[in-house]
Structure 1
Amino acid sequence: MSVVASVFVGLAALLHVFIFVLESVRWREPATWQRFGVASQQDADTTASMAYNQGFYNLFLGVGAALGVVLYATGHESAGRTLVLFSTASMWLAATVLITTGRSYLRAALTQGTLPFIGFVLFLFV
């Protein structure tokens, strides 16, 4: 079961690193800001610093989850589990908050929150 749990947490980590790339590196590209529902290049430019900051939150959560899996796999089970549970819970709770901002964000919240939620639940039973 720990392998399956680690796979879900690893996928959640990769997803959050990908979100970092979109928000902090590629935000001003039309394909990126349109994906996030931003109406114009001007709006993307206006929100770029906010997206940049938000992207780093996603990066830090992804790195935390990945580091937790590595620690767990290398014999530091307590520290690894703690880091995995904290990181995936934060990811899932952020997705839950996203749902509260409007129904149009349901798909994004499910994308952002499903893998970490599954990883969190599985890691509870490892």
Structure 2
Amino acid sequence: MIAIIATVFAALAALLHVYIFVMESVQWARPVIWRRFGVPDQAAADIVRPMAYNQGFYNLFLAIGATLGIVLFWAGAPETVAEVAGRTLILFTLGSMAAAALVLITTGRKYLRAALTQGTLPIIGFVLMLFA
């Protein structure tokens, strides 16, 4: 039962990171999007755009890693190479997501809400996966 809940949180974290990818790498030109990231005006958004594009792909790659980990975890019987590899990949990607949220907090208190949004699902999934 814990494994199911852990992978649900991992899947939700992956979906959130796909959404972040879409905002940063696909929809960045929309003012409603770059304002959400605290960018004050179009000129600044244009300057930040290449970094946001790149950062969005980091989020996508983490989401892909978590998804692949979930697939491997459930594809193998307990204690098989696939299950162990899946668990490892899930823990690595969720840990990376959580660490990125912690780094975001270090950039300033105004990013606390974003860090909590970005980090809560991965942290819950990570802890649950340790006991799955």
TM-score, normalization by structure 2: 0.94
Q: Take 1:45 and 1:123, find their aligned partners in 2: how far apart are those partners?
A: 40
Which string of whole-angstrom CA distances, capped at 9 and with x for unpartnered residues, describes residues 22-62 of structure 1?
Answer: 00001110110011110001111111000000000000001
The one-letter code sitting in structure 1 at the alignment partner of 2:131 is F
1:21 Cα shift? 0.3
1:74 is matched with: 75
| 2:19 is aligned with 1:8 | no
1:97 is matched with: 103
* SS of residue paired to 1:37: coil
Q: Take 1:6 and 1:97, find their aligned partners in 2: how far apart are those partners?
A: 24
Q: Take 1:42 and 1:11, find their aligned partners in 2: how far apart are those partners?
A: 34
Question: What runs of 5+ residues in structure 1 fail to find an aligned partner?
Answer: none
Q: Take 2:74 and 2:120, find their aligned partners in 1: how far apart are those partners?
A: 23
The one-letter code sitting in structure 1 at the alignment partner of 2:100 is A
2:79 is matched with: none
1:107 Cα shift? 0.1
Which string of whole-angstrom CA distances, capped at 9 and with x for unpartnered residues, describes residues 86-122 of structure 1?
Answer: 0000000000000000000000000000000000000
2:22 is matched with: 21
The one-letter code sitting in structure 1 at the alignment partner of 2:95 is A
TM-score, normalization by structure 1: 0.99
1:37 is matched with: 38
Question: What runs of 5+ residues in structure 2 fail to find an aligned partner?
Answer: 77-81
Which runs of structure 1 show a deviation greater than 3 angstroms over 4 or more consecutive aligned residues?
A: none
Q: How many aligned positions are there?
A: 126
Larger Rg: 2
1:124 is matched with: 130
1:12 Cα shift? 0.1
Match of 2:116 among 93, 100, 110: 110
The one-letter code sitting in structure 1 at the alignment partner of 2:4 is V
Identity %: 66
**RMSD (Å) for aligned C-alpha atoms:** 0.5
